[in-house]
């Protein structure tokens, strides 16, 4: 009968063998955390390898994602569809075991980790989702939402500022089912961390309002087990278990140093480690009795079966709630969503108004919010400016998690990565807002949403130099262009209340990636459209007005669409035939068929002017090298918006001049 140490050693040998075969990777963390992982996964983790997406499973996040062979070894040993050949294929092209855990590649990977600190932040989002769903759906004895979120993290995660943002909020919200394990091994890539990381982590997390269990021997199974028991008994606060470990445990000559952090151990050292560990089996060979003790399929199926019995009873007692829970966990929209959202958009076109698009966004939330109990909104301390609160918004608190709105505080990066965690958990459509300029703080979380194909909705207001007096520190210039270059991120910059509502509709309906909604501070005039033009908005670009055979095309987005319309009127007065194209989403437009794109931007019309209060260079893809662009080439200035638009050439006269120069 294999001992706990032998079971943990299976993780160690698989990890060092796979890294050695790949000639690349990080063996130290898996070897150091193997004992912790063995106790957690074998004694506590509620999961079913035969159904990795079971709704009420515990979530496990490896925030220190460079130690990816730890989770791959765990998944393989526990019985997931991850074979020994998959482990042998570690870090190879198209493998299920890439260098860092990637969501969607292997079953049981809950999130993509690699950029340090984002994994623990995703875990905070998952714990928020669990707590909110439990408050919304659990009734009496029927705790159909009742699971933990576990996260492993290292010194690097704690050094990254995002961990402060997320863990501070986790304490405030009282996320009692979040349990994090700190791998306190004192080593990072450059060596012993005492030269650059001397924080009192225990006091830090205690100040956040966490339950902290310090001084746990990370190689003592009994001590680990006692710590987990204490953590699970604490239901009002998240818990940090501080585990003192030896990085690369089992390597006689490299353990405890950065030599085993990010490089293979080498054949000689692996042989020495096998001798030290008493492991007598060759590379990638695990004895059957070890597999048998690790296999979690039977107890996982039993746990899910117990839950299904409870859920079946819940369905009989609360049929409507049960149906709603299943709908939301499947990421399905309500049956009447399309009809009602289309009707709202049509009503806007029939009743013109000229609000700022940030206000139009709030109006859309008030229209769509009652249809979508799965909304989970928020703002990074800018709700009054972003206008993300709608009439049905209710804030989450530690004592009452039944709401649908998170007051994130000044935590743009944390907010965005938490939203990704909420989306990954499922059951909610998360949206969160800040000024467009401050997406810079959150950029990597936005990228991770796109990479993981998660439907987070990022709301950005104050979209250009049009925000005025706050000046260049707050005026976004290059942000939209860089976001448009991010694969799988769809960006919308609407010109009026109708396009704003369509943008929201499209973001809500999207299931395969994130959307950014970019709104103005200033009021914008509603455009005249036919029903066909309204229907075409969702295509990202469409003909707003056109003379029979256009000689020139003006392309604009957002607040500059009205400028294009006014300039077109002047050009027509001078005998020119003009087409105006509103392009609220270049990403959506680029996804259309070649035939549709040609119908909007015919190649035969080579005279083109693009108009947007952002960096000019992006627009050459639509106007060509011989076209004209009215855009920004510098940062902004501090002045009233009207003066800034004149200063930087966003005037009818300048657009007309640029257009006439093409003839």
Determine the pLDDT at residue 453: 98
> Of all residues in the chain, what percent carry a pLDDT higher than 70?
100
Residue positions forming the annotated binding site: 26, 66, 114-116, 155-156, 185, 187, 261, 358, 385, 438, 462, 470, 474, 521
Determine the pLDDT at residue 132: 98
Determine the pLDDT at residue 374: 98
Residue positions forming the annotated binding site for Mg(2+): 155, 185, 187
DSSP H or E run through 362: helix 357-368
The answer to whether the beta carbons of residues 40 and 28 sit under 8 Å apart is no
Residue positions forming the annotated binding site for thiamine diphosphate: 66, 114-116, 156, 185, 261, 438
Q: What is the pLDDT of residues 338-353, one digit of tens each?
A: 999 999 999 999 999 9
Q: Which residues contact 127 (CB under 8 A, 6 or more apart)?
A: 149, 170, 175, 177, 178, 238, 421
Determine the pLDDT at residue 36: 98
- Where does 576-659 show beta strands of DSSP type E? 578-582, 608-615, 628-632
The answer to whether the beta carbons of residues 596 and 504 sit under 8 Å apart is no
For helices 118-137 and 319-329, the axis angle rounded to 10 degrees is 160
The answer to whether the beta carbons of residues 429 and 403 sit under 8 Å apart is no
- Among 239, 230, 117, 241, smallest CA distance to 175 is for 239
Determine the pLDDT at residue 437: 97
- What is d(CA 293, CA 273) in angstroms, rounded to the nearest whole number? 23
Q: Which residues contact 122 (CB under 8 A, 6 or more apart)?
A: 61, 63, 110, 111, 113, 417, 418, 420, 421, 424
Determine the pLDDT at residue 71: 98
Q: Please state, in angstroms and as integers, the Cα–Cα distance from residue 499 to each residue in 62, 285, 430, 493, following that order.
A: 40, 59, 21, 8
Q: Sorting pLDDT into bands at 50, 70 and 90, what band is 475?
A: very high
Q: What is the pLDDT of residues 357-382, one digit of tens each?
A: 999 999 999 999 999 999 999 999 99
- Retrieve residue 597's tokens: 């794109």
Q: What is the pLDDT of residues 565-574, one digit of tens each?
A: 999 999 999 9
Mean pLDDT of 603-631: 96
- What is d(CA 422, CA 376) in angstroms, rounded to the nearest whole number? 9
Q: Sorting pLDDT into bands at 50, 70 and 90, what band is 451?
A: very high
Query: How far is it between the farthest Cα atoms of the chain?
Result: 92
pTM reported for the whole predicted model: 0.98
Residue positions forming the annotated binding site for substrate: 26, 261, 358, 385, 462, 470, 474, 521
Q: Sorting pLDDT into bands at 50, 70 and 90, what band is 450?
A: very high
Q: What are phi and psi of 95, to 5 degrees?
A: -80, 165
Catalytic sites, residue numbers: 412
């Amino acid at each position: 009968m294999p001992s706990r140490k032998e079971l943990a050693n299976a993780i160690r040998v698989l990890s060092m063998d796979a890294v050695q075969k790949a000639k690349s990777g990080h063996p130290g963390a898996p070897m150091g955390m193997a004992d912790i992982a063995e106790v957690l996964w074998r004694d506590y983790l509620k999961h079913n390898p035969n159904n990795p997406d079971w709704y009420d499973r515990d979530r496990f996040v490896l925030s220190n994602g460079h130690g990816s062979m730890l989770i791959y070894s765990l998944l393989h040993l526990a019985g997931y569809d991850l074979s020994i050949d998959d482990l042998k294929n570690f870090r190879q092209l198209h493998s299920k075991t890439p260098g860092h855990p990637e969501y969607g590649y292997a079953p049981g990977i809950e999130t993509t980790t690699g950029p340090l600190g984002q994994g623990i932040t995703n875990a905070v989002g998952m714990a928020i989702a669990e707590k909110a769903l439990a408050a919304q759906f659990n009734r009496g004895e029927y705790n159909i939402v009742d699971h933990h979120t576990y996260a492993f993290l290292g010194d690097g995660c704690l050094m990254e500022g995002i961990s402060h943002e997320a863990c501070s909020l986790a304490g405030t919200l009282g996320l009692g089912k979040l349990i994090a394990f700190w791998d306190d091994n004192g080593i990072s890539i450059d060596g012993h961390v005492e030269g650059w990381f001397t924080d009192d982590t225990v006091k830090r997390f205690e100040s956040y309002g966490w339950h902290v269990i310090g001084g746990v021997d990370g190689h003592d199974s009994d001590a680990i087990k006692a710590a987990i028991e204490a953590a699970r008994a604490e239901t009002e606060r998240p818990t940090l278990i501080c585990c003192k470990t030896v990085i690369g445990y089992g390597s006689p000559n490299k353990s405890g140093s950065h030599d085993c952090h990010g490089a293979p151990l080498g054949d000689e050292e692996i042989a020495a480690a096998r001798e030290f560990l008493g492991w007598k089996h060759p590379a990638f060979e695990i004895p059957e009795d070890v597999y048998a003790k690790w296999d979690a399929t039977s107890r996982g199926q039993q746990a899910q079966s117990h839950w299904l019995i409870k859920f079946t009873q819940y369905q009989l007692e609360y049929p409507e709630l049960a149906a709603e829970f299943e709908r939301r966990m499947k990421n399905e929209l309500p049956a009447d969503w399309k009809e009602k959202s289309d009707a709202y958009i049509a009503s806007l076109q029939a009743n013109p108004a000229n609000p700022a698009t940030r206000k139009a966004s709030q109006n859309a939330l008030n229209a769509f919010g009652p249809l979508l109990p799965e909304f989970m909104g928020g703002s990074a301390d800018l709700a009054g400016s972003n206008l993300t609160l709608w009439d049905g918004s209710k804030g989450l608190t530690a004592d009452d998690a039944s709401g649908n709105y998170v007051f994130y505080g000044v935590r743009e990066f944390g907010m965005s990565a938490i939203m990704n965690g909420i989306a990954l958990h499922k059951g909610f459509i998360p949206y969160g807002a800040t000024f467009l300029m401050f997406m810079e703080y959150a950029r990597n979380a936005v990228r991770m949403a796109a990479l993981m194909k998660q439907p987070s909705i990022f709301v950005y207001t104050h979209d250009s130099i049009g925000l005025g007096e706050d000046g260049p520190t707050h005026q976004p210039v290059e942000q939209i262009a860089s976001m448009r270059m991010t694969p799988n991120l769809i960006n919308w910059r609407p010109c009026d209340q109708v396009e704003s509502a369509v943008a929201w509709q499209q973001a809500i309906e999207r299931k395969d990636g994130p959307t950014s909604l970019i709104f103005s501070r200033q009021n914008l005039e509603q455009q005249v459209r036919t029903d066909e033009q309204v229907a075409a908005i969702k295509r990202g670009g469409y003909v707003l007005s056109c003379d029979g055979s256009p000689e020139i095309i003006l392309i604009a987005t957002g607040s500059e669409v009205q400028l294009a319309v006014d300039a077109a009127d002047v050009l027509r007065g001078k005998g020119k035939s003009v087409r105006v194209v509103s392009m609220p989403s270049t990403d959506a437009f680029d996804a259309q068929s070649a035939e549709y794109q040609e119908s909007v931007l015919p190649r035969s019309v080579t005279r083109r002017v693009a108009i947007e209060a952002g960096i000019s260079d992006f627009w050459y893809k639509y106007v060509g090298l011989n076209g004209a662009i009215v855009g920004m080439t510098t940062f902004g200035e501090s002045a009233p918006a009207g003066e800034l638009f004149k200063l930087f050439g966003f005037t009818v006269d300048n657009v007309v001049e640029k257009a006439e120069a093409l003839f």
